[in-house]
Structure 1
């Protein structure tokens, strides 16, 4: 039912990934800051979003678009809205670290129907269409079904988190959550790209994930992929942007005992 949209999004994600690889670890990133010194954007972010948004406008001019760099554009009243993070993990990318991804989601009347997250350096492509399950293609190979891990308690779990950009001026910055949960988990990771975190949970590479102060473009595609992989997403709170906990049902409950 959603094959045309999914095929289109996959092709765009791969094309944007090639832009990112072309600049990666080079000297022509044109790094700028946005909201503060921790919030950066590169030439690859901007070029990737313009590629994706331009292709959507050309193919479906009646659709709406929300992008991290370009904001809202297109037909605002449309039932269809594309939500784009052209380069999730920009800090990693700007440092030469390989965990970064293109995230493209399509919503219909507010509900996600297609999600694509592509990590170009790792050559990992995560995909989902609503009701069709979640898949991972590695190295350009045939997509294989993925499912969340089955662990039921934190002492055997490896979980991930992140920190909001205003961590320097807002003491409500997730540090207390980390201190509370750290003694109770096998280990903790800070991957630096929420879209990839959600997909890693979907594939069972991580057992759980929580974060505060995210945006819709960070999670729109990854959330659908995780849900289609049998996972659970729970709102953590309503006063810090998009704040969520993800994993299987048991792990989400366990994380919820320590984070707020």
Structure 2
């Protein structure tokens, strides 16, 4: 049975998701104007965060907050903090691609203890609580059981607009693609992590993500039996911005490829 906190998170995600789905239906009508569509999606993103913040703050007014749009706010309870991405996959949303999500995580004393990733376009609700497993629409999920790199599909985010870590990502791809079954770049880190948890992807890595992008996904993968580390194993994967995740059978070989400096 879900805790009170997780139920609050699910309610907030569904409410924001309904707002985003309504806005998503309008995106196609705005494609004739790039600026108009971009401005519209920015408003949709901010409205979704407002909805989530209102729901969470009403229920737990003393918790801290870290949101993509509104930044960080300290709470009266310094041990608990919400980490929220109201619209992960903004570019997909902007282009009318139905692959984006609401991501909400709850942190307690530096550890993620509850997670929600809601794919509103497909009505898929991924949830997890520390020690209680991971679920998709109330069905328990597990990471894949694949043991061979040659049978496995991996996901990442390829940087755009001249971001500085593009050469490193291309090196990653050049080492990984010859030894795996396929690569996917779907543009939504929260869903990449959720798909690892559900066994749809066998692994995921990225070199520049924000805490709100992956906090919920990290717990999903762990509770689904997978393994997650920062690229530097001594760092906190939530805060580092550079991480690697997979099932336990592939992790050593997969992470060695991504961490290679040659």
TM-score (norm 2): 0.88
CA contact (8 A) 1:91 1:192 kept: yes
Tell me if structure 1 keeps the 8 A contact 2:159–2:165: no
Structure-2 separation of matches of 1:81 and 1:71: 12
- Comparing 11-20 with 173-182, which one deviates more in the overlay? 173-182
How far, CA to CA, are the matches of 1:151 and 1:161 in structure 2?
A: 18
Gaps of 5+ in 1: 33-39, 138-142
Q: How does 1:96-175 map to 2 (within 5 A)?
A: 96-137=96-137, 143-164=138-159, 167-175=162-170
In the alignment, is the contact (CA less than 8 A) between 2:10 and 2:116 conserved in 1? yes
> 2:33 matched to which residue of 1?
none
Aligned to 2:91: 91
Q: Which has the higher helix share?
A: 2
Cα distance change, pair 255–57 in 1 and its aligned pair in 2 (3 A):
same
Tell me by how many angstroms 1:123 deviates.
0.8
Of residues 33, 38, 57, the one that matches 1:31 is 38
- Following superposition, the deviation at residue 163 of structure 1 comes to 2.3
For 1:173 and 1:125, the matched residues in 2 are separated by: 33
The change in CA–CA distance for 1:199 and 1:48 in structure 2 (over 3 A counts) is same
The answer to whether the 8 A contact 2:225-2:248 is kept is no
Q: Distance in 2 between matches of 1:246 and 1:169?
A: 22
SS in 2 for 1:49: helix
Specify whether residues 41 and 23 from structure 1 end up closer, same or farther in structure 2 by C-alpha distance, changes over 3 A only: closer
Shift of the 2–229 alpha-carbon distance from structure 1 to 2, 3 Å rule, reads same
Residues in 1 aligned to 2:56 and 2:10: alpha-carbon distance in whole angstroms:
13
State the distance in 1 between where 2:150 and 2:97 align.
29
How far is 1:87 from its partner? Answer: 0.6
SS at match of 2:99: coil
Q: Is the 8 A contact 2:227 2:245 kept in 1?
A: yes
- Structure 2's unaligned 5+ residue stretches are 31-35
Residues 1-260 of structure 1 mapped to structure 2, 5 A cutoff: 3-26=3-26, 27=29, 30-32=37-39, 42-75=42-75, 78-137=78-137, 143-164=138-159, 167-237=162-232, 241-260=240-259
Shift of 1:74: 4.5
TM-score (norm 1): 0.88
SS at structure 2 position matched to 1:191:
coil
Structure 1, residues 26-79: CA drift from partner, whole Å, max 9, x if none? Answer: 2467525xxxxxxx9622211110111122222222110000110012416621
Alpha-carbon distance in structure 1 between the residues aligned to 2:64 and 2:198: 30
Shift in alpha-carbon separation, 1:162–1:22, aligned structure 2, 3 A: same
RMSD (Å), alpha carbons: 2.2
Q: How many residues align?
A: 248
| CA distance in structure 2 between the aligned counterparts of 1:210 and 1:159, rounded to whole angstroms | 8
Give the superposition deviation at 1:173. 4.6
Q: 1:76 to 1:91 in 2, by over 3 A?
A: farther
Q: 2: distance between equivalents of 1:233 and 1:17? A: 27
Alignment-derived partner of residue 36 in structure 1: none
Q: 1:135·1:146 contact (CA, 8 Å) conserved in 2?
A: yes
